């Protein structure tokens, strides 16, 4: 089409599409009314070969500004290296979702706009985030004031949480699931004996978990009385509720007692009493005396 005089003004996209070979005179400008961008003539170049210049604010129809009137590719190049593509060029605005893609061969979505349901969703560059995490400097000991990102599903908001609050939340959660770790008391030195003048073995180990104590005791030595008692230090005392009993292995005056002996700890006591049988028979006050027992009792 030969050079023509046209009035400077705004034309719709259909006009630009219908006049691809039009040659504007030098200095003549024609604006695309949907966007405010314009083409400036040079007296030589056809209209379709001229680039749009400038730009205006306001809402734009994506199809109207893509490809400068073409309807074949539906994409806009940007300086950031991203572009917008419509999966279905014929129904871009009314029924499809616009996608901001990483490149022309990837479907890694950064931003999606659903015009039908009026929803805008920012998805983030997942590849970039993963790479950033994998290449970040190791941070083995977080401080209490350090923060992590978290999604609040109740309010639909992105929020932060401190490492201090994470630890407190995890402690509350796991404390409700797992029993308290037993406290182990070695009372071998502080406990006292009655019935031995000397010992070759004295082991008094107590496991305490909540209100339950289990004592593992082995005493081997020289007898100096008929009694055989072990008194815990002030760390442990039995409950006022009831007497606890248990069997024990016995050596009396150097001889192993075939029948099992017995031991007991009375209410509000910290002393275990041992007998030669399941009655109240006492030991011989001489020779080698050995008691070996495990007894469980409640503590206050």
* The pLDDT of residue 237 is above 70: no
pTM summary value: 0.44
Give the pLDDT mean for 23-48: 85
* The pLDDT of residue 63 is above 70: no
pLDDT for 288 equals 94
pLDDT for 74 equals 45
Q: Are 49 and 23 in contact (CB under 8 A)?
A: no
Q: Which one is predicted more confidently, 169 or 209?
A: 169
Q: How many CA atoms lie within 13 A of 21 on its CB side?
A: 2
* The pLDDT of residue 110 is above 90: no
pLDDT for 16 equals 87
Give the pLDDT mean for 154-163: 89
The candidate with the shortest Cα–Cα distance to 236, out of 222, 263, 216, is 216
CB-based contacts of 81: which residues, under 8 Å, 6+ apart? 103
Domains and CATH numbers, the chain: 1-70 (no CATH), 73-136 (no CATH), 138-175 (no CATH), 183-298 (2.60.40)
* The pLDDT of residue 165 is above 80: yes
């Amino acid at each position: 089409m030969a050079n023509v005089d046209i009035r400077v003004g705004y034309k719709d996209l259909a006009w630009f599409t219908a006049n691809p070979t039009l040659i504007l005179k030098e200095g003549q400008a024609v604006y695309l009314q949907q966007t405010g961008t314009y083409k400036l003539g040079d007296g030589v170049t056809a209209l379709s070969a001229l680039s749009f210049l400038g730009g205006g604010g306001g809402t734009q129809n994506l199809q109207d500004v893509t490809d400068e009137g073409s309807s074949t590719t539906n994409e806009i190049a940007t300086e950031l290296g991203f572009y917008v593509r419509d999966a279905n060029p014929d129904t871009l605005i009314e029924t499809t979702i616009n996608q901001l893609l990483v490149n022309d061969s990837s479907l890694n979505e950064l931003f999606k706009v659903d015009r039908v349901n009026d929803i805008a969703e920012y998805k983030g560059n997942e590849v970039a985030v993963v790479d950033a995490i994998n290449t970040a400097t190791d941070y083995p000991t977080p401080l209490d004031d350090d923060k992590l990102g978290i999604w609040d599903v109740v309010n639909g908001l992105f929020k932060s949480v401190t490492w201090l609050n994470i630890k407190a939340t995890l402690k509350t959660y796991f404390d409700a699931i797992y029993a308290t770790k037993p406290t182990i008391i070695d009372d071998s030195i502080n406990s006292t004996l009655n019935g031995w003048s000397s010992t070759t073995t004295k082991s008094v180990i107590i496991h305490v978990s909540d209100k339950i104590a289990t004592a593992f005791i082995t005493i081997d030595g020289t007898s100096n009385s008929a009694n055989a008692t072990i008194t815990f230090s002030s760390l442990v005392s039995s409950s006022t509720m009831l007497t606890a009993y248990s069997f024990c292995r016995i050596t009396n005056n150097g001889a192993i007692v075939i029948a099992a002996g017995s031991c007991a700890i009375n209410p509000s006591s910290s002393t275990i009493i041992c007998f030669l049988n399941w009655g109240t028979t006492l030991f011989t006050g001489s020779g080698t005396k050995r008691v070996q027992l495990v007894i469980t009792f409640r503590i206050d």
